[in-house]
Amino acid sequence: MDAGSCNGCEIEIGSAFGPVYDAERYGARLVASPRHADALLVTGPVTRNMAVPLLRTFEAVSEPRIVVAVGDCAIDAGEFAGGHGVHGPVADVVPVDLRIPGCPPEPDAIVAALRGLTGR
């Protein structure tokens, strides 16, 4: 879920699931609905307009649910911290289980973190 990012992290997530890094071979798969998900990847600082949608999306993921903060902005609001439209980091809205640092994190770091979740 993009909570207010610049889209850099989404590009790297796309690469992580592309043919070069192929995260699916380790049991991770992108799904369109949070109701079909076991984990929620969240990017960007949470903007004021996205705090409630993030919470609702989190609640739609079945338990046990895992939240992964992808990128520096998701972890601590990055360079947007203190901005007028910024609510704060992801952990201010929902509990975060895993953090993947970077601006943006490289696809191999994303795949490595997801491998830790899938155990593969």
Q: Rounded mean pLDDT of 49-67?
A: 97
- For the chain, what is the mean pLDDT? 96
What are the distances in angstroms from CA 118 to CA 6, 55, 98, 101?
Answer: 28, 24, 13, 19
pLDDT at 9 over 90: yes
Q: Which domains does the chain have, with CATH numbers?
A: 8-118 (3.40.50.12280)
| Percent share of the chain, pLDDT over 70 | 100
**Mean local confidence (pLDDT), 97-104:** 97
Quickly tell me which residue has 């903060």 as its tokens: 69
Rounded mean pLDDT, 1-24: 97
Say which residue, 118 or 61, is predicted with more confidence: 61
For position 120, what pLDDT does the model report?
85
